[in-house]
Amino acid sequence: MSEPKIQPVPVPTVRDAAFDILRTHGLTRMFANPGSTEITLLADLPEDLEFILALHEGSVVGMATGHALATDHAALVVVHTTAGLGNAVGAIATARVNRAPLVIIVGQQDRRHLATQPFLAGRLRGLLGDYPVWFNEPITAQDVPAAIARAFHEATTHRGPAVVIVPMDDWLAPYDLTHVLAAPDLVHSDRLASPAALTELATHLDAATNPVLVVGSGNATDDGWTAAVALAEKLQLPVYQESFGARPGFPQDHPLFAGFLSAARSTLRGQLVGYDVILAVGAPVFRQYNFEPGAMFDEGATVLLVTEDTDEAHRSRASVVVIADPAPALADLRDLVALVPSPRTVIPPHRAAPAPPKASEPIRASHVMALLGALLPADAIVVEETPSSRPDMHELMPARSPLGFVSAAMGGLGFGLPAAIGLRMGNPKRPVVAVLGDGSALYNIQGLWSAGHYNVGTLFVILNNERYAVMDRLAERASSAPPAWPAFDAIDFVALAASLGCTSQRLSDYGTLENVLTSAVADLADRTEPLVLVVDVEPEQHFAP
Same domain, 371 and 271: no
* Strand order, beta sheet including 531-536: 405-406, 381-385, 432-437, 459-464, 531-536, 503-507
Note the pLDDT tens digit of each residue in 493-506: 999 999 999 999 99
Residues 481 and 371 in one domain: yes
257 shares its domain with 318:
yes
Q: Which of 299, 321, 336 is the last residue of a domain?
A: 336
Whether residues 455 and 385 share a domain: the answer is: yes
Nearest of 107, 176, 169 to residue 146 by alpha carbon? 176
In a shared domain, residues 511 and 383: yes
Share of the chain above pLDDT 90, in %: 72
Q: Does residue 391 lie in a domain region? A: yes
Domain extent for 214: 195-336
For position 402, what pLDDT does the model report?
A: 92
Q: How many domains does the chain have?
A: 3
Distance between CA atoms of 75 and 28, rounded to whole angstroms?
9
Tell whether 26 is covered by a domain. yes
In a domain, 187, yes or no: no
Judge whether 330 lies within some domain.
yes
How high is the mean pLDDT of the chain? 91
CATH code at position 215: 3.40.50.1220
Given 172, 187, 211, the domain boundary residue is: 172
Query: Do 155 and 207 fall into the same domain?
Result: no
140 and 226 belong to one structural domain:
no
Secondary structure tally for the chain: helices H, strands E? 18, 18
Q: Looking at the structure, do residues 115 and 202 belong to the same domain, yes or no? A: no
**Residue 20 pLDDT more than 70?**
yes
**401 within domain boundaries:** yes
> Are residues 164 and 219 both part of a single domain?
no
Gap between the Cα atoms of 24 and 315, Å rounded: 36
Are the CB atoms for 252 and 400 separated by under 8 Å?
yes
Give domain status of residue 150, yes or no. Answer: yes
Task: Output the pLDDT for position 180.
Answer: 65
pTM for this entry? 0.92
Q: Are residues 392 and 525 in the same domain?
A: yes
Residue 503 sits in a domain whose CATH number is 3.40.50.970
Q: pLDDT tens for residues 378-399?
A: 999 999 999 888 888 899 999 9
| Contact indicator for 204, 302 with CB cutoff of 8 Å | yes
Residues 144 and 23 in one domain: yes
Q: Does 347 fall in a domain?
A: no
Indicate whether 109 belongs to any domain: yes
Res 75 pLDDT > 90: yes
Are both 47 and 125 inside the same structural domain?
Answer: yes
pLDDT digits (tens, 9 = 90+) for 464-521: 987 677 777 777 777 777 877 777 777 899 999 999 999 999 999 999 999 999 999 9
Task: Write out the DSSP string of 84-149.
Answer: HHHHHHHHHHHHHHTT--EEEEEEE--GGGGGG--TT----TTTTTT-SSEEE--SSGGGHHHHHH
* Contacts for 139 with CB less than 8 Å, ≥ 6 apart: none
